[in-house]
Structure 1
Amino acid sequence: MIQSSESPERIRELLRRNLQEVFGEGDAQRRRAAINDLWTNDAVLYAPPGIVEGQDAIGEFAGKLRATHPHFVYTPHGAPQVLHNAGRLAWGSGPHGEEAEYTGWDVIVVRDGRIAALYVFLDEATAEFRRSADGQS
């Protein structure tokens, strides 16, 4: 049986820091520094709008997403879970001190102590919120 060489604590750290320092960060330079520390050079982000490849594109995507709701904060819902070289974290996002307007899960695959892939799952209520915000039914 093959065992993962990835540290469970590092995977938990990556999940927590990515949520706050990449997707929750409004300053482009701080966000970029976090991406350099947390993500592999060839990382891939799988998110509802599509697939984003590479650190530069991930930083641009995170910045554009952040600009759509600069007053929102990301709040972990529970503790990160780790399995071999992967981890997941449930989260919510909304105005500070208020109920989350949308929720989801981040699932990461880790290679050499850094995020190689991130899969973002939005909860169904979030999909309904997004469709109604876009004027779709």
Structure 2
Amino acid sequence: MSTTEELLQSNLHEVFSEEDPGRRWAAIERTYTEDVTFIDPDGRFVGWQALNDQAQRLLDGPLKGLVFEEDGPGYVGPDTAALPWRVGPPGKPPVSRGIDVVTIRDGKLSVVRTLLAPG
């Protein structure tokens, strides 16, 4: 079973940064419950396939060529955690910042809420 910190890292780097569909799918299976709900400004997506499709859409579109980095420490509670992040071109200032607030159930992420900083 993964630690909460490992789940946060997997969500950011092995799913939403991973361009290889096979590696991303393996990370999805070990990181999220099958009925995971992903909520971002584009909507609400339920299940592994919907989450994978949204990650691919982001990687092909607005995140193409950009790199995620942690933007501070992760915050961990008994069934909730959060990880602030920034995204931008490698070695350049970020173009966007946000935070993922997650709910943990049975050792996996069951809800991922992505909040974006204004501006």
Shared fold (TM-score greater than 0.5)? yes
CA displacement at 1:97 relative to structure 2: 0.9
Q: Is the 8 A contact 1:26 1:70 kept in 2?
A: no
- Per the alignment, in what secondary structure is the counterpart of residue 92 of structure 2? coil
Determine the structure 2 residue equivalent to 1:85. 79
- Per the alignment, in what secondary structure is the counterpart of residue 124 of structure 1? coil
Please identify which structure carries the higher helix content.
Answer: 1
Corresponding letter in the other structure for 2:98: G
Matched, 1:55 2:55: no
Aligned partners of 2:7, 2:92: CA distance in 1, in Å? Answer: 25
Q: How does 1:1-137 map to 2 (within 5 A)?
A: 10-68=3-61, 69-125=63-119
Unaligned runs of 5+ in 1: 1-6, 126-137
CA displacement at 1:83 relative to structure 2: 1.4
Corresponding letter in the other structure for 2:34: N
Aligned partners of 2:92, 2:38: CA distance in 1, in Å? Answer: 28
Corresponding letter in the other structure for 1:85: D
Aligned partners of 2:105, 2:48: CA distance in 1, in Å? Answer: 15
Aligned partners of 2:72, 2:116: CA distance in 1, in Å? Answer: 16
**Percent identical:** 32
Query: Structure 1 runs of 4+ off > 2 angstroms?
Result: none
Of structures 1 and 2, the larger Rg is shown by: 1
CA displacement at 1:28 relative to structure 2: 1.0
Q: Is the 8 A contact 1:73 1:94 kept in 2?
A: yes
Aligned partners of 2:27, 2:68: CA distance in 1, in Å? Answer: 16
Aligned partners of 2:60, 2:29: CA distance in 1, in Å? Answer: 21
Q: Is the 8 A contact 1:46 1:120 kept in 2?
A: yes
Aligned length: 118
